[in-house]
């Protein structure tokens, strides 16, 4: 039963609603370790990665509960800064706890995190930058971190890493003095984390730019009870592309189009009509367009790596060529072999792929190699001739809440099997 059966060529039509972003929620939840009061997050999807992080918090003495789509997290009772090994190995986001746990307990023990299976995911930058704040790290199979006191510092990131920027924000907001993060990540999820902590009394300036300044404060205060995270720009982009391969017409409610500017620029005027309002995107296919030219993924505001596999599937349906270069995770192309089983014409050379579009795609038995690769196969299946069986639904559920149900409401034939 860990499969999705996708019958192709049903036009998607209607409205779909998107929830809070997985990659915003995970650091927000990790940051609750800094608080000795409960906070409620609004519009929360049910995602496996979020569940694993919440279970880690629970095993360390924290509490959480859901009331419909409000998630309450209360870390006032958290007492144990040991991230359990089994859980840590399940998700990359366990690494986000380093910053908040070291701040609160001055010590942390864990193992290297797990996460999506698309190549090497080092943690050297996390550890090196925490050292700059006064953390000692013993780095073997197990990781032990300790500090007498966290002290602000000026830190340059060799790559604008999202997770490292978020970890440093969490580690520094209660540290002594000022921390400056140079070449910080500008992703909307980083801004969301800074906004949340600032609402509780933190002093984080410049989030969304390449230089973040954090003035340490003594304590965060329960100034708000609820916080609404940004909606999931990757879920939005995935639905846009799902709709286009079927020649459909859909409205995505809750979407903030600013966060999907690069995707919109790429597909607009080529194959579709798009109308934007403050919290909706309307997208209507105008028939198969031509190849998308060159796309390079890179940190925000460039084209996101988390939509690379999905646009790769979409470009298989366009006349002409599309070249995609992966600039964040050089080997994030495991889905190529699966798409080839559906007759896709894709050549891979190092960190680039060349797609010769408009070969007819046929349904096949394929496996989600990773979360976004799974979404890519759903897109391919929706536009293909016949039935596609996508194994590895549990991988897709890490980051998509009821994607099959939402696609069915839009008229797609996508069922668990």
For the annotated catalytic residues, the residue numbers are 116
Stated as kind and residue range, the H or E segment containing 204 is strand 203-205
By CB under 6 A, what part of segment 391-410 binds ligand EPU? 399
Residues forming beta bridges with residue 273, ordered by sequence position: 284
Site size for ligand EPU (CB under 6 A):
23
- Percent helix, strand, coil in the chain, to 5, is 35, 30, 40
Q: Does 377 bind ligand EPU (CB under 6 A)?
A: no
Of 49 and 249, nearer to ligand EPU (C-beta) is 49
Site track 125-144 with ligand EPU (rule: CB under 6 A), x = hit: xx------------------
Min separation Cβ 99 and ligand EPU, Å: 12
Min separation Cβ 79 and ligand EPU, Å: 25
Q: Are 29 and 197 in contact (CB under 8 A)?
A: no
Min separation Cβ 56 and ligand EPU, Å: 14
Stated as kind and residue range, the H or E segment containing 282 is strand 280-285
Cα separation, 340 vs 139, in Å, equals: 40
Cα separation, 45 vs 234, in Å, equals: 13
Of 212 and 384, nearer to ligand EPU (C-beta) is 212
Tokens of 46: 């049910």
By CB under 6 A, what part of segment 145-204 binds ligand EPU? 159, 161-164
Tokens of 164: 């490292």
Min separation Cβ 150 and ligand EPU, Å: 19
Of 314 and 329, nearer to ligand EPU (C-beta) is 329
Q: Are 87 and 95 in contact (CB under 8 A)?
A: no
The residue at minimum Cβ distance from ligand EPU is 163
Contact range with ligand EPU by CB under 6 A, out of 114-122, 144-152, 220-228, 333-341: 114-122
What are the C-alpha distances in Å from 105 to residues 82, 147, 296? Answer: 10, 9, 41
Cα separation, 14 vs 23, in Å, equals: 26
Q: Are 30 and 97 in contact (CB under 8 A)?
A: yes
Min separation Cβ 306 and ligand EPU, Å: 5
By CB under 6 A, what part of segment 18-77 binds ligand EPU? 23, 26
Of 106 and 330, nearer to ligand EPU (C-beta) is 330
Min separation Cβ 197 and ligand EPU, Å: 16
- Residue 213's nearest CA partner among 203, 225, 223, 222 is 203
By CB under 6 A, what part of segment 286-305 binds ligand EPU? 305
- Residues with Cβ within 8 Å of residue 173, at least 6 apart in sequence: 34, 103, 197, 202, 203, 204, 214, 216, 217, 220
Of 31 and 305, nearer to ligand EPU (C-beta) is 305
Using CB under 6 A as the criterion, which residues of the chain lie in contact with ligand EPU when the complex forms? 23, 26, 92-93, 116, 121-126, 159, 161-164, 305-306, 328-329, 371-372, 399
């Amino acid at each position: 039963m860990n499969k999705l059966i996708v019958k192709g060529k049903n036009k998607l039509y209607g409205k779909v609603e998107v929830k809070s972003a997985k990659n915003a929620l995970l650091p927000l939840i990790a940051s609750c370790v800094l608080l000795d009061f409960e906070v409620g997050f609004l519009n929360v999807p049910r995602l496996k990665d979020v569940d694993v992080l919440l279970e880690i918090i629970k095993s360390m003495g924290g509490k959480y509960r859901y009331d419909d789509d409000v998630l309450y997290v209360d870390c006032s009772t958290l007492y144990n800064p040991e991230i359990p090994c089994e859980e840590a190995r399940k998700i990359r986001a366990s690494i986000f706890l380093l910053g908040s746990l070291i701040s609160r307990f001055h010590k942390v023990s864990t193992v290297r995190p797990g996460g999506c299976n698309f190549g090497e995911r080092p943690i050297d930058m996390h550890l090196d930058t925490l050292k700059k704040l006064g953390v000692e790290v013993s780095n073997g199979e197990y990781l032990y971190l300790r500090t007498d006191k966290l002290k602000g510092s000026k830190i340059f990131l060799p790559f604008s890493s999202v997770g490292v920027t978020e970890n440093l924000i969490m580690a520094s907001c209660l540290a002594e003095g000022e921390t400056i993060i140079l070449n910080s990540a500008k992703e909307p999820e980083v801004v969301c984390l800074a906004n949340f902590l600032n609402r509780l009394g933190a002093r984080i300036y410049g989030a969304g730019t390449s230089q973040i300044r954090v003035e340490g404060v003594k304590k965060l205060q329960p100034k708000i009870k609820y916080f609404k995270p940004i909606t999931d720009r990757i879920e939005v982009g995935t639905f846009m592309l799902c709709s286009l391969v079927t020649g459909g017409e859909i409205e995505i409610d809750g979407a903030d189009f600013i966060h999907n500017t690069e995707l919109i620029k790429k597909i607009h005027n080529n194959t579709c009509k798009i109308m934007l309002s403050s919290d909706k995107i309307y997208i209507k296919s105008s028939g198969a367009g031509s190849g998308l030219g060159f796309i390079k993924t890179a940190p925000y505001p460039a084209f996101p790596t988390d939509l690379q596999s999905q646009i790769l599937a979409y470009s298989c349906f366009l006349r002409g060529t599309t070249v995609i270069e992966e600039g964040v995770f050089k080997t994030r192309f495991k889905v190529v072999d699966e798409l080839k089983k559906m007759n896709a014409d894709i050549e891979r050379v190092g960190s680039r792929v060349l797609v010769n579009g408009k070969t007819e795609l046929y349904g096949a038995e394929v496996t989600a190699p990773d979360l976004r690769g799974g979404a890519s196969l759903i897109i391919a299946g929706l536009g293909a001739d016949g039935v596609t069986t996508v194994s590895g639904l549990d991988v897709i559920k890490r980051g998509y809440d009821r994607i099959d149900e939402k696609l069915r409401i839009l008229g797609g034939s996508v069922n668990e099997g």
